[in-house]
Structure formats: structure tokens, C-alpha cells
Amino acid sequence: MGMHDELYCDAELPDADVPAGAIFETKAFPHAFLFRYRITKAGRLIDACCRDLDCDGYLEFYHYLDRSVEDCSLAEYRAHFCRGQLNNIVRVKREPEVADVRIIYGLSRISRFRSRGPLQLHERYRRGRGFHRSTRR
């Protein structure tokens, strides 16, 4: 399994398979260590301190629909960012891998900028109240 980061997605997903408020997992960032990120409704990627992550490339994330041992089904998505703005999110359909052919998607660039959010949000995160399930309703 390995470490992963958590991702919250406020942007519209292409289907309704995942319940509202679901926490996604991603291994797209270097040094994954349970950090929290969010794709906002405005299409920006921010970290838990509300810093804008100006990124280019593809961000793959997934949510376990069923974690039973018999059938571990995933809802996998790929978000495409260009100059820090979300272009689209598509549902990933896993094809059987052909020998010696594998396309690897990932982020080609990540830059952190100062927050664009209101001061009150900064105070919440500074006091250690990052993204919690209770804040999303």
C-alpha cells in the first residue's frame, strides 16, 4: 500500500459514484505523507494552509467504493491542471495492461504561493484545525 496524501474535491466530478464529502487518496505528490489538499470549486489546488499550488500536469486520485477483501473497487479520477487552473476531471477506466506499454501521468510542476483566502481561514489552520470531516456538510 504505502503512504498517500488526502484530497478533498469541491469541483464537480464527472459522475455520482462517490458520496458527497468523500476523502480521496493520491500518490501524485512527491514525499506522500498524509498531507491534505483540496481542489476548490474555482478550480484551484490548495494545501491545508490555503496556499495556492500553481501546478501543471495530471493529478490522479481515487476513492475506495468497497474495501471488502473479495472486491476492492475503486473510483479513480484524473484532474488536468494547466498554469494552476483545473481544465477537467475525467473518470479513469483501467484497461488491462499490455506488456511493455504503460502511460504514466503526473504533475510536471508545483509552485506554492501565498494564500488568497480570507484571514479567518488562515487563523483556523494556524490553530491546527485543517480540513476535517465535520467542516464539510
DSSP 49-89: T-EEEEEEEEEEEEEEEEE-SS-EEEEEEEEEEETTEEEEE
What percent helix, strand, coil does the chain show, rounded to 5? 10, 45, 50
According to the model, what pLDDT value does residue 73 have? 80
Measured in degrees and rounded to the nearest 5, phi and psi for residue 17 equal: -75, -25
What's the pLDDT score for residue 105? 67
Torsion of CA 73, 135, 131, 16, to 10 degrees: 30
The pLDDT score that the predictor gives to residue 68 is 65
**How confident is the model at residue 136, as a pLDDT?**
47
pTM: 0.70
pLDDT of the residue at 119: 47
pLDDT of 69: 58
Whole-angstrom Cα distance, residue 61 to residue 134?
22
The DSSP output letter for 23 is P
List, in order, residues 6 or more apart from 30 with CB less than 8 Å away: none
The amino acid occupying position 7 is L
Q: Give pLDDT < 70 ranges for the chain.
A: 1, 67-71, 94-106, 108, 112-137
Q: What is the pLDDT of residue 137?
A: 45
Question: How do 36-39 and 45-47 pair as beta strands?
Answer: antiparallel
Cβ-Cβ contacts under 8 Å for 130 (sequence gap 6 or more): 36, 48, 124
Residue 23 has a pLDDT of 92
